[in-house]
Every structure is written in structure tokens, then in C-alpha cells.
Amino acid sequence: MAAIPHILGLDHVAIATPNLEAGSAPYLALGLTPEGPDEEVGGQGVCVRAFVVGETLIELLAPTREDSPIATFLQKRGPGLHHTAYRVADLDAEISRLQALGARFLSNSPSPGRSGTRVAFLHPRWGEGTLIELVEHPAGRVGHG
């Protein structure tokens, strides 16, 4: 049986916006369609609108409270690219593997992500200036949904 690759695919590219309606305008103009209804993820203090792009998603993130990481990001940097996210089959294994390589996670344990996924974030300094997220797709599913 072929070994499962560490990274199954690009799950999403996330964009911070103060307002999902305004933030959606370029993607609607590009002809992209929302994957489903907006989703509030309380643990992260965000409301998410995801647009389908082939096998991956554009994830628009608007803050739902002042202490949301997205609110902080918007105050410091304004709207725009926030993070990239990659699909993994076994998040706990990837956390252990990367930590053994010296990677710095923001938390030692996964947190709930969009659509009930388990997610973990690597520190932007470790990511050489990019906030990187790992999203668990246990079935090893490559596509979204």
C-alpha cells in the first residue's frame, strides 16, 4: 500500500476582511461561488465564507468579536491574505513529526476549525512570514466538502 503523503493538498487560502459582503466582491466578480452558508466559528471569533476554487477554497474571515485574531490582524495590517492551509490525514502525527523537526505550533493541541475539522497553526515566524494551518481530513480526502 502506497504511503500517505504528509500533505494531501491545499485546503484553503484565507483572507481577512472586516466585512464579508465587501470582501466577497472580487471573488463573486471572478465567478466563484460560496461553498455554503456563512459559518460562525466561535472558538476563533470569526465568521467564515468559503468560495470553491477547484479542489481548494478561498476562506474569507471576518471577526465576530474584538479579541478575535482576525480583528487584531486587521488593526495591524488591514484586509488581505491571512494564512494558507494544507490537508493532512493524521494531524496528531504531523504535529509530532514537525515538532521533532523544530517546528513551532501556536498550541500543542488541535482546535476546532471550519465544518467541524481539527486544525493546528504553525507560528508565522517558523513559517518564514506566513501563518500556516494544517487541517485534518481523516479519510485522506483530497477534495473539499
Ligand X SMILES: CC[C@H](C(=O)O)C(=O)SCCNC(=O)CCNC(=O)[C@H](O)C(C)(C)COP(=O)(O)OP(=O)(O)OC[C@H]1O[C@@H](n2cnc3c(N)ncnc32)[C@H](O)[C@@H]1OP(=O)(O)O
Q: Which of 35, 59, 94, 136 binds ligand X (CB under 6 A)?
A: 59
Q: How far apart are CA 20 and CA 90, in angstroms?
A: 31
Q: How many CA atoms lie within 13 A of 20 on its CB side?
A: 18
* Minimal distance, residue 54 CB to ligand X, in Å: 18
Supply 39's cell numbers.
459559518
Q: Which stretch binds Co ion (CB under 5 A): 1-9, 19-27, 95-103, 129-137?
A: 129-137
Q: Which of 57, 58, 60, 73 binds ligand X (CB under 6 A)?
A: 73
- Sign of the C-alpha dihedral, residues 26, 27, 28, 30? positive
* Minimal distance, residue 112 CB to ligand X, in Å: 8
Q: Which of 121, 122, 132, 134 binds ligand X (CB under 6 A)?
A: 121
Q: Looking at residues 77 to 116 of the shown chain, list those that interact with Co ion (rule: CB under 5 A).
A: 85
122 CB-contact burial (10 Å; exposed 0-12 / middle 13-18 / buried 19+):
buried
